[in-house]
Amino acid sequence: MTARSLLRRLARALVIAGVAAPALTATPAGALPVLEAADATELAQSLAEATEDQDVCYGWEVTVYDYGGSGDGIDQGSSLGVGKSANAAECAQWVIFEATITYTSASSESEDSASFSVGSNVAGAPTAADLRANGISEGALLGNNDDQAVANATLLLPALMAEKGLAEPISLEANTQPLPASDKATGTPGSDWLRKYGAAVAVTALLFLGGLGWAAWIFFREHPFAPAPVRNISSSRRSGGLSE
Amino acid sequence: MSPKVKLFAALGAAGVGLVALLGVMFGTKGSVRSYIAGKYQRVEAESKGSSAVYTSNQSPGVVAKSISSRWKPAERVNDPGGSFLRYRSAIIAVTAAGAGQTGSRIYVDDQRSGYNRWYPYVGGLWGTFSGPGETFRGGGPAAGK
């Protein structure tokens, strides 16, 4: 990727930001498209740049079944453009992220589901397992950020191709220009330590508190240190046959 | 089981839980930054150490996987050129080494520097962007079902 492509990417991002505004407010959320037009254009252009560097076409093809009523269909795009498959005559080599998302109706007892795979005509191309190993999951395709999940999975393909020695690696290019005054990182993530050890803390705290609660219950309900009940000696004597 | 035995069993469970809890709270240390510093070779450092660049002879995918499996990122963005991992303490970018080189380069920055450095890639996703529509739309019709 060259400095020219970096500038192109920045300019495109600005254009997309402007284009996306009316789209975001005018289009109600539905099953399709999975990616908004501006996001799909951005993704296709990023893939086109990867194709320029690697001579491999990349694409996405997401089949949506929506039994909730907003209609079934396919959201696809590639290095060749939005709505175009990478499996085309122009592409000697192609790799496509393929996913199926099924939204059940509200009255259905079945859960929504998703699956994904990688289609390619390149021997040894990345697989779904490679994507999964890099954090792509079926659950993400059903979440609120399903579009990001599709983009993340598709954009991972060129890097995986390079990793497998099937294409040239592509480098990121750092921005060296100062940012506009209004632009800065927001939404600082939660504690890294808790993300790593949170489950262990929860389990051990549960064991500690559970043990204490159980002990308290036994202490107050079963009185383990109460004096032993006194035997009724007179009745015992009577039953033993002793008499005065 | 007598009440006394049950009481001692409960107190034993609580004791084990307390010891384990204290062990987790005070026996675990480190951060994604220290993990990277200990595993990869540093080649550059700036801003009094808040930014640093490391190298590895492993591929970017392997490095990103290694880091994210050891320290799970809060967010991740992929690009044909590499991966961005976002933590509270750092923004980490893993990309291929330069032309003609094998392996990868790992950039570690704080939030501000990382967002600035990788603005063309994460701009609008992890912060404000000049213009509206800075995030992907998100959400299927039955999201959260």
The pLDDT of residue A106: 82
The pLDDT of residue A11: 45
**Chain A contacts of B98, Cβ < 8 Å?**
171
Q: How confident is the model at residue A41 (pLDDT cuts 50, 70, 90)?
A: very high
Mean pLDDT for each consecutive 10-residue tract of chain B (145 residues)?
88 93 87 94 82 92 91 92 94 87 90 93 88 42 40
Cβ–Cβ below 8 Å for B132 and A9:
no
Which residue of A lies nearest to B27 if distances are taken between CA atoms? A197
The 10s digit of each residue's pLDDT in A176-197 is: 888 888 899 998 899 999 998 9
In residues, how long is chain A? 244
Mean pLDDT confidence for A20-33: 46
The pLDDT of residue A236: 53
- What is the number of helices (H) and of strands (E) in chain B? 5, 6
Task: Say which residue, A69 or A165, is predicted with more confidence.
Answer: A165
The full DSSP string for A41-83 is HHHHHHHHHHHHHHS-EEEEEEEEEETTTT--EEEEEETTEET
Report yes or no: A186 and B128 within 8 Å, Cβ to Cβ: yes
Point out which residues pair with A159 in neighbouring strands.
Answer: none
What is the least distance, in Å, from the CA of A241 to any CA of chain B?
33
Mean pLDDT confidence for A146-164: 92
φ, ψ of residue B55 in degrees (nearest 5): -125, 160
pTM for the whole structure: 0.73
The pLDDT of residue B129: 85
The pLDDT of residue A7: 47
Report yes or no: A131 and A94 within 8 Å, Cβ to Cβ: no
A 175-234 residues inside an 8 A Cβ radius of B: 175, 178-180, 182-193, 195-197, 200-201, 203-212, 214-215, 218-219, 222-225
**Chain B contacts of A210, Cβ < 8 Å?**
13-14, 17
Point out which residues pair with B126 in neighbouring strands.
Answer: none
Cβ–Cβ below 8 Å for A162 and B96:
yes
Cβ–Cβ below 8 Å for B136 and A36:
yes
A17: pLDDT strictly greater than 80: no
The 10s digit of each residue's pLDDT in A101-135 is: 998 888 888 888 999 999 999 999 999 999 998 88
Cα(A52)–Cα(A158) distance, rounded to whole angstroms?
11
Q: Of the given ranges (A16-30, A193-207, B57-71), which has the lowest mean pLDDT?
A: A16-30
Q: Of the given ranges (A2-11, A163-172, B25-34), which has the lowest mean pLDDT?
A: A2-11
What is the least distance, in Å, from the CA of B43 to any CA of chain A?
16
Cα(B85)–Cα(B145) distance, rounded to whole angstroms?
28
Question: E strands within chain A?
Answer: 57-66, 73-78, 81-82, 94-103, 113-120
